[in-house]
Structure formats: structure tokens, C-alpha cells
């Protein structure tokens, strides 16, 4: 039943509440780690590992990124499609820097390894976008 002043009807409101409730329930948790190696100023190796968690993560969200998903729920495909922005986001979260350089008889060789240690991310799937937030 729709009132005269244009308010939302009761069934529609209930439907909206249920939709919101199920969209909240549609959150998954993933473990993501990232590592890349630079040797002598040249990128040598890069690895992004994504895995669904087998047990619930403990922690609170402290940052988030919103990516387009085009009705997909495959997180690997979504991240692959938004590779640059997600890698930038990982850089923002913070990376461990491990650098070693060796100079032998004035010849320098260096290796820099940047690592995001395995971190739990909460992923909320919606119709057109996906919200990814690390847990701490």
C-alpha cells in the first residue's frame, strides 16, 4: 500500500532491509600477499598471491578501495582487471623493504625486495562494485 504523501510502501521497505542485510552477508575474506624483487634497478620478479580464508579473520578495517566488478564475484579476475589501482593501494597500505647491496672492487650489485606480508582482506561484493578492505 502506498500512502498519499509518496512514502515507501511497507513491503518495499522490508525488501530493501533484506537486500541490505544479504549484501552485508555477501562479504568474504581473502588472504593476499604481494612481493616483488628488483635487481640492479631492473624488475626481476613479481608475485601477487590471493587465497580465500579457511577460517574467520580477526581484526578491524582500517582502509579500503572500491573496484568495479561488472557483476563478477571472482576476486582474482576483478583484481586482474584493476591491477594498477590495486597495486597502488597495496603500496599505500605499506610494504616491507629489504635491501641488500654489495660493492666489490667498485662494482655494485643490489637487490631490493618489497613485501606485503600475508594480510587478511574483507571483500564486499555488490552489483557494480567491490569493496576491499584490509583487516588489522
Partner 1 sequence: MKFSLLLALFLSVSSLFGAEIEQANTTENVVAYEANTNVTPIPSQRETQNCSSQKFLARNSCIRVSVLGQGVAPTNTASPAQAFALAKRAAIADSYRLIAEKVKGVNVDGHDLIKNMMVKRSTIRTAVNALVQNANITETVFKDGLCEVEMEILVYHSQFN
Tell which phi-psi region holds residue 70, choosing left (phi > 0), alpha (psi between -120 and 50) or beta.
left
- Spatial neighbors of 105 by CB under 8 A, at least 6 apart, are none
Residue 36 is a binding residue for partner 1 (CB under 8 A): yes
Residues 42-61 that bind partner 1 (CB under 8 A): 42-43, 46
In the bound complex, what is the minimum distance in angstroms from residue 108's beta carbon to partner 1? 9
Contact 10, 1 (CB under 8 A): yes
Q: Under the criterion CB under 8 A, does residue 98 sit at the interface with partner 1?
A: yes
Q: Comparing C-alpha atoms, which of 84, 96, 86 is closest to residue 123?
A: 86
What is the nearest approach in angstroms of partner 1 to the Cβ of residue 6? 43
> Do 36 and 47 contact (CB within 8 A), yes or no?
yes
State in angstroms the smallest separation of the CB of 64 from partner 1: 15
Task: Answer for the pair 131, 64: CB distance below 8 angstroms, yes or no.
Answer: yes
Contact with partner 1 (CB under 8 A) among 3, 102, 127, 128:
102
38 versus 135: smaller Cβ distance to partner 1? 38
Using CB under 8 A as the binding rule, the residues of this chain from 67 to 96 that contact partner 1 are 91-96
Question: What are the residues binding partner 1 (CB under 8 A)?
Answer: 36, 38, 41-43, 46, 91-106, 112, 114
Amino acid at each position: 500500500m502506498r500512502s498519499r504523501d509518496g512514502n515507501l510502501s511497507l513491503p518495499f521497505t522490508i525488501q530493501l532491509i533484506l537486500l541490505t542485510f544479504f549484501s552485508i552477508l555477501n562479504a568474504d575474506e581473502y588472504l593476499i600477499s604481494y612481493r616483488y624483487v628488483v635487481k640492479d634497478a631492473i624488475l626481476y620478479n613479481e608475485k601477487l598471491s590471493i587465497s580465500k580464508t579457511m577460517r574467520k579473520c580477526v581484526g578491524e578495517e582500517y582502509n579500503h578501495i572500491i573496484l568495479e566488478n561488472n557483476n563478477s564475484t571472482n576476486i582474482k579476475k576483478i583484481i586482474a582487471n584493476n591491477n594498477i589501482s590495486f597495486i597502488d593501494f597495496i603500496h599505500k597500505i605499506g610494504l616491507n623493504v629489504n635491501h641488500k647491496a654489495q660493492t666489490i672492487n667498485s662494482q655494485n650489485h643490489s637487490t631490493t625486495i618489497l613485501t606485503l606480508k600475508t594480510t587478511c582482506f574483507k571483500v564486499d561484493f555488490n552489483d557494480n562494485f567491490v569493496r576491499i578492505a584490509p583487516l588489522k
